[in-house]
Structure 1
Amino acid sequence: MGRRKKGNPVHGWLIVDKPAGVTSTQVVGKVRWALDAQKAGHAGTLDPDATGVLAVALGEATKTVPFVTDALKCYRFRVTWGAETTTDDASGSVMQTSDCRHDAAALEAALDAFRGPIMQVPPQVSAVKVDGERAYDLAREGIEMDLAARELFVDRLDVIAQDADGAELEMVCGKGGYVRAIARDLGRALGCLGHVAWLRRTWSGPFTAEDAVSLSDVETLARTPELHARLRPLELALQGMTELPVSETAATRLRHGNPGDVLQGAEYGETCWASHLGQAVAVGTYRAGTIHPSRVFQT
């Protein structure tokens, strides 16, 4: 007989407005404790000094994390000109400085190279794995790494405000983007050097800051119905896919990992999600009147 999991079978998303000074993992741990949940994870790490939307998945919602991680995200941040740091943000030590400055036209012109599909080298202090170890662990040991460039899609990068010492920018990008690397590379392109002064994620996939609860409220409302009422349904993470309703019989088959008949069609080979009475049953591939599950939900 298997050991019973600690906690309760809580399913859904809790959107937290992460404060500066805590890690994403710490926030997940606090949410799991506050909801007495068996299982929790998050969709996209925020740096300890960053603030904003951290989508925490509970229970069966953890199976939908990849769909939020792959979605577009929006960041507001300020780049301070004149210095490059070891971490590419204000928490690091200054490595080199520059007295060079630029005008507004030069900044606008430089941004063109940072839009669309770009190649980006992650910061030395990042979660990228190097020979099985995290880059941030190696960086703390004083090891300098030659990190490979990675592809990133930047949907939008706009200037919100600027002055002689820096600029506030807004970026919408895909999976795997490092705002700190954007600040570093933009400073180099302008010849003035730069690093992130502050960073806030305003939305992530379907989740926005308006949906979020503060970490202090998570602590205050811990183990209360009020906090459970702030949970969002796991189905929100599936919004970008076609929904295919199924009968109760098909839902049972799908939950057992078998193909199930759907009540309407889709494109052959399309990834869809099956629902019964509005609840997610499975995510899978549509083939000639049936959906073949790759993920099933036991809620």
Structure 2
Amino acid sequence: MQAEASSSPVARPRVPRRAVHGVLLLDKPLGLSSNDALQKVKRLFRAEKAGHTGTLDPLATGLLPLCFGAATKFSQISLEADKTYRATLKLGVRTTTGDAEGEVLEERPVDVTPQHLLQACMRFMGPIQQVPPMYSALKRDGKALYEYARAGIEVEREPRQVVIHWIELLRWQEGALEIEVRCSKGTYIRTLAEDIGEALGCGAHLTALRRTGSGPLTLEGAYTLAQLEAMSEAERDAVLQPVDALLNDWPVLRLEAEDAGRFLSGMRRRTAHPDAPQLRVYGPQAGAFLGSGSVKAGELISLRLLSPLEVQGLLNAQASQ
């Protein structure tokens, strides 16, 4: 009697995970969500724990810092940081979504000069009010706004204050305007593009968006998925930024061994360091990053701490390099 062939699927071998600590600067490709990009990179590193530092739309490319292991404790810092974008606007055309994916709502003639462009951009410098677009991931009653928009439902949105630190005009040619924008978290560049178009009297929509900076981090030293896939595991580990990379623009405080132990246990201590709302704190060994803290009224207060095991792991990894 012939045995029946089994129809059950063959189980894939489980890939062993490992402790990885550090920050990867990913140059996210077009068409991939931030979470999909994270999961692909997490598998490449076989990392136990990983997270990204703020959503970058599938239609946007550029800098997406990914945190591994101990670095995930500081991902909120990058979420709160100012961002820099390079955006391309198509003048004279408004769309349903404010970008190139939407249907055309209106077309108007474009009759502007470089001076008009400069004046329009200057109107949006500094603190401004923005109404979040319907085609956004902002949640209302547990659903993203874009879900309502796709169902043809318009939801009332409260304006929010954001800050445009500067706008630089990079290129103006045949109805396409390229700008660079430094802004606070929560700024919708798509909305800014539409507002600039209205200020010019011709309308506009966003055709390309690339993030070039997040806090102190830039695309310099960033890697694409293709580059990471072509590397060995050791080569991938070597391109990781240190755990404290997200805090690179914070002042430094170094502690002696006894005070470092107290800091890691969460105990407050007196210090001669001037008051500061945020510091990166190190132990006596070179590269011994302990966590973040603040100084108020001459007292050092811990904010986010690495565990002693994580500190030792980072020192061991540094010694082996």
Assess same fold via TM > 0.5: yes
* Alpha-carbon separation, structure 2, partners of 1:94 and 1:156: 29
Q: Does 1:273 align with 2:280?
A: yes
Q: Which consecutive residues of structure 1, in runs of 5 or more, have no partner in the other structure?
A: 1-5
1:87 aligned partner: 97
Note the C-alpha offset of 1:193: 0.9
Q: Does 1:240 align with 2:249?
A: yes
Report the identity percentage.
36
Q: Classify the secondary structure of the residue corresponding to 2:66.
A: strand
Counterpart code for 2:300? I
Which structure 2 residues correspond to residues 215-294 of structure 1 after superposition, within 5 A? 215-221=225-231, 224-260=233-269, 265-267=273-275, 270-276=277-283, 277=285, 278-287=287-296, 290-294=299-303
Q: Aligned match of 1:209 in 200, 219, 239?
A: 219
* Alpha-carbon separation, structure 1, partners of 2:218 and 2:208: 19
Note the C-alpha offset of 1:127: 1.9
* Alpha-carbon separation, structure 2, partners of 1:235 and 1:261: 24
- Report the aligned-residue RMSD: 1.9
Counterpart code for 2:288? Q
1:28 aligned partner: 38
Note the C-alpha offset of 1:249: 2.7
Which structure 2 residues correspond to residues 1-299 of structure 1 after superposition, within 5 A? 7-221=17-231, 224-260=233-269, 265-267=273-275, 270-276=277-283, 277=285, 278-287=287-296, 290-298=299-307, 299=310
Counterpart code for 2:57? D
Structure 1 243/167 Cα, relative in aligned 2: closer, same or farther at 3 Å?
same
CA contact (8 A) 1:71 1:175 kept: yes
TM-score, normalised via structure 1 length: 0.91
CA contact (8 A) 1:274 1:291 kept: no
CA contact (8 A) 2:110 2:175 kept: no
CA contact (8 A) 1:242 1:266 kept: no
Note the C-alpha offset of 1:171: 0.7
Note the C-alpha offset of 1:260: 4.5
* Alpha-carbon separation, structure 2, partners of 1:63 and 1:86: 38
For this pair of structures, how many residues does the alignment match?
291
Between stretches 285-294 and 48-57, larger displacement belongs to 285-294
